């Protein structure tokens, strides 16, 4: 039986109202942190502006930082080279998810434990992988190439550590999110996507409490859910109108998650925490 998945969609312009690289980095960190807190499986960055070139620059930057944040600290130097866009990664909050272990000692590893690793060398016995301790682990599987990131399980600990590769979905704990840049606009990728339940958040949507029972029925049966968020300057209704779509047709539910908000606008990162907290409390996943 396949595992049920939750994705969120955020616009590439989510950082457009933030002028400085440091503040942009901090904002993206909050988005990644919200995704991790509420066990989001995928973050989709979609284009919401006709200026394609500018959107590609923004979406690639957001994806870079979200991917950096999701990668365990001991693997970051292997996957991320010096890049001026990473200048302020020190302000990113730690995720402290199960795949970001604090243990760096081989003697403290336990059989059955899961870790992320990267293939560093091919040998006659298999491949060596860096799993974030003093010495590499041996994996008796030869099909992997150097530089490949894998989800691993410890099968032998002690003087010689051996691991086996496993699928991310087989790990019983939350194991991070993946990041996808969607080159198509929101309406098109939702209509052509894999989602069997799409919830669009909007301040002119129906109050969540009025939709809760209907959402609950579909939520239970859904295997791939999408919760979508608008941009700082424009909500999803406006974005859809510019694309020639009707949000009420594209999404299964258009919901106001923060009714009677006390501010003129709600920032995307604020809406993420509020919306996912409500959905988590109401339905879980």
Residue 145 in tokens: 């190439």
Alpha helices by DSSP H, 84-176: none
Superfamily per CATH, domain 5-96+178-282:
SPOUT methyltransferase, trefoil knot domain (3.40.1280.10)
Domains 5-96+178-282 and 106-167 belong to one CATH topology: no
CA angle 173, 115, 144 (to 5 degrees): 120
The pLDDT value recorded for residue 51 is: 59
Q: Which residues pair with 67 in a beta bridge?
A: none
Q: How far is CA 171 from CA 98, 116, 222, in A?
A: 10, 11, 21
Q: Which residues pair with 46 in a beta bridge?
A: 11, 182
The pLDDT value recorded for residue 1 is: 43
The pLDDT value recorded for residue 183 is: 82
For the chain, list residues with pLDDT below 70.
Answer: 1-2, 50-54
User: What ranges do the domains of the chain cover?
Assistant: 5-96+178-282, 106-167
Torsion of CA 63, 188, 6, 76, to 10 degrees: -10
Calpha distance 248→246 (Å, rounded): 5
Whole-structure pTM over 0.85, yes or no? yes
Q: To which residue do tokens 């051996």 refer?
A: 162
The pLDDT value recorded for residue 79 is: 98
Pick the CATH number of 106-167 from 3.30.428.10, 3.90.1150.10, 2.40.50.140, 3.30.70.100: 2.40.50.140
């Amino acid at each position: 039986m396949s595992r049920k998945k939750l994705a969120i969609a955020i616009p590439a312009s989510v950082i457009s109202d933030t002028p400085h690289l440091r503040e942009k980095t901090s904002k993206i960190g909050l988005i990644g942190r919200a995704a991790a807190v509420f066990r989001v499986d995928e973050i989709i960055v979609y284009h919401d502006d006709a200026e394609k070139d500018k959107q590609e620059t923004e979406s690639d930057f957001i994806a870079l930082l979200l991917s950096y944040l999701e990668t365990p600290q001991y693997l970051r130097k292997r996957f991320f080279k010096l890049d001026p866009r990473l200048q302020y990664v020190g302000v990113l909050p730690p995720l402290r998810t199960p795949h970001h272990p604090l243990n760096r000692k081989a003697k403290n590893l336990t059989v059955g434990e899961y870790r992320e690793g990267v293939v560093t060398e091919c040998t006659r016995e298999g491949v060596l992988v860096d799993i974030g301790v003093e010495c590499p682990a041996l994996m008796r599987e030869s099909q992997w190439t150097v530089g490949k990131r894998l989800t691993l399980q410890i099968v032998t600990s002690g003087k010689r550590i051996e691991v086996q590769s496993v699928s991310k979905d087989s790990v019983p704990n939350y194991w991070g999110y993946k990041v996808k840049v969607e080159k198509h606009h929101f309406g098109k990728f939702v209509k052509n996507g894999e989602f069997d339940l799409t919830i669009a958040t909007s301040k002119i949507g129906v109050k969540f409490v009025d939709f809760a029972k209907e959402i609950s029925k579909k939520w239970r049966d859904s295997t791939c859910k999408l919760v979508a968020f608008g941009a700082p300057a424009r909500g999803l209704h406006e974005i859809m109108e510019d694309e020639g779509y009707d949000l009420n047709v594209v999404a299964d539910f258009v919901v106001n998650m923060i009714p009677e908000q006390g501010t003129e606008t709600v920032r995307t990162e604020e809406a993420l925490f509020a919306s996912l907290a409500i959905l988590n409390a109401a339905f879980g996943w």
